[in-house]
């Protein structure tokens, strides 16, 4: 029996400390074929939930079930202006997620370019089952758990993540943190929430894997982990002298 990989051991620690209902999801962008993994059609927004609940999923241009994700994940380029126009019309007039085409164009301009992943796959699985080191780790969690994760992220260096929200789930929960190395938060785009029956209190926190060891190391030092809040003696005395709330 092989020893656990470091990142696999992190899963049980994070689940216990944060009281997560499901596993953190390790995601890797892989070039080589992954044998023995079913490739039924799947939407990436649903794959996050499936992987959090124990499944191992590989998604690529052959089994991707979402037309929008085909572009956002880099499986296909939209070279035909008519097709691009049709998609925009659906988003603005069908999904009704933007008030105008100019509003949609502004959002698109803020998302950056996506590399060609037409020959690559994204491998999603519970962190404790990841055979290969993941590129990012996605947490399906509630607001309090997200708060604790973000606090643990900033505990070491005090640098606030460059959070970007408002775009498609696949782009903001996977591609943005993967390409930028930034921690990000996604509420799921509203269409994805409805299609995947996402629980009302759930959102996604995406963390580049290289930040995870630092988070685990901070757990016993930070109150967002296991540490207890303390009031230094001089601060307690100050509060006693200033019960009226004036400094």
Q: 65-94 pLDDT, tens per residue? A: 988 899 899 999 887 888 888 888 988 898
Average pLDDT of span 191-209? 95
Return the residue matching tokens 């990142």: 7
Instruction: Give the range among 26-35, 47-56, 91-100, 221-230 with minimum mean pLDDT.
Output: 26-35
pLDDT number for residue 246: 59
Whole-angstrom CA distances from 94 to 39, 64, 97 are: 29, 21, 8
pLDDT greater at residue 244 or residue 14 = 14
pLDDT at residue 203, as a whole number: 97
Alpha-carbon span 209 to 138, nearest angstrom: 9
- pLDDT, one tens digit per residue, over 213-243 is 999 999 999 999 999 988 888 888 888 888 7
Per-residue pLDDT, 1: 42
* Structure tokens belonging to residue 232: 């230094």
Q: How far is CA 70 from CA 84, 205, 244, in A?
A: 13, 22, 59
d(CA 181, CA 167): 17
pLDDT of residue 11: 96
Q: Which of 78-82, 96-100, 149-153, 195-199 has the lowest mean pLDDT?
A: 78-82
Instruction: Label residue 34 by pLDDT band (50, 70, 90).
Output: low
Angle CA(138)–CA(144)–CA(147) in degrees, nearest 5? 65
How far apart are the C-alpha atoms of 50 and 44, rounded to whole Å? Answer: 10
Which of 35-44, 165-174, 198-207 bottoms out in mean pLDDT, i.e. has the lowest?
Answer: 35-44
How is residue 44 written in tokens?
Answer: 């990436």
Give Cα separations from 165 to 20, 214, 227 (angstroms). 22, 24, 30
> Given the structure tokens 């269409």, which residue do they identify?
191
Q: How confident is the model at residue 40 (pLDDT cuts 50, 70, 90)?
A: confident
Angle made by CA atoms 82, 173, 157, in degrees to the nearest 5: 135
Beta strands in 14-163 (DSSP E): 25-30, 57-59, 121-126, 136-141
Question: What torsion, rounded to 10 degrees, do the Cα atoms 57, 152, 167, 194 define?
Answer: 60
Percent of all residues in the chain with a pLDDT value above 70, rounded to a whole number: 95
Main-chain dihedrals φ then ψ at residue 206, nearest 5 degrees = -110, 125
Mean pLDDT score, 51-69: 93
| Mean pLDDT value across residues 157-175 | 92
Using CB atoms within 10 A of its CB, is residue 129 exposed (0-12), middle (13-18) or buried (19+)? middle
Torsion, Cα of 158, 179, 202, 17 (10° steps): -50
φ, ψ for residue 229, nearest 5 deg: -70, 140
| pLDDT, mean of residues 13-36 | 89
Mean of the per-residue pLDDT values of the chain: 91
User: Which residues share a beta bridge with 45?
Assistant: none
Q: Phi first, then psi: what are they for 198, rounded to 5°? A: -65, 135
Choose between 145 and 195: higher pLDDT: 145
Confidence tier at 35 by pLDDT (50, 70, 90)? low
């Amino acid at each position: 029996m092989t020893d656990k990989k470091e990142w696999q051991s992190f899963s049980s620690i994070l689940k216990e400390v944060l009281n997560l209902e499901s596993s953190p999801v390790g995601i890797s962008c892989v070039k080589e074929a992954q044998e023995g993994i079913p490739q039924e059609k799947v939407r990436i927004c649903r794959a996050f939930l499936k992987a959090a609940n124990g499944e191992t999923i590989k998604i690529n241009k052959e089994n991707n079930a979402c037309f929008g994700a085909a572009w956002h994940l880099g499986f296909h380029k939209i070279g035909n202006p008519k097709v691009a126009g049709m998609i925009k019309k659906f988003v603005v007039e069908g999904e009704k997620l933007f008030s105008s085409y100019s509003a949609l164009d502004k959002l698109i301009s803020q998302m950056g370019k996506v590399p060609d992943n037409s020959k690559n796959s994204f491998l999603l699985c519970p962190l404790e089952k990841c055979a290969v080191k993941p590129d990012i780790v996605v947490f399906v969690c509630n607001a309090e758990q997200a708060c604790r994760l973000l606090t643990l992220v900033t505990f070491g260096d005090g640098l606030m993540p460059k959070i970007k929200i408002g775009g498609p789930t696949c782009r903001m929960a996977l591609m943005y943190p993967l390409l930028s190395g930034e921690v990000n938060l996604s509420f799921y785009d509203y269409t994805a929430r409805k299609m995947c029956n996402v629980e009302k209190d759930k959102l996604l926190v995406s963390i580049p894997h290289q930040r995870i060891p630092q988070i685990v190391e901070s757990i016993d030092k930070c109150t967002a982990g296991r540490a207890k809040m303390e009031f230094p003696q001089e601060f307690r005395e100050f509060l006693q002298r200033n019960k009226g709330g004036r400094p």
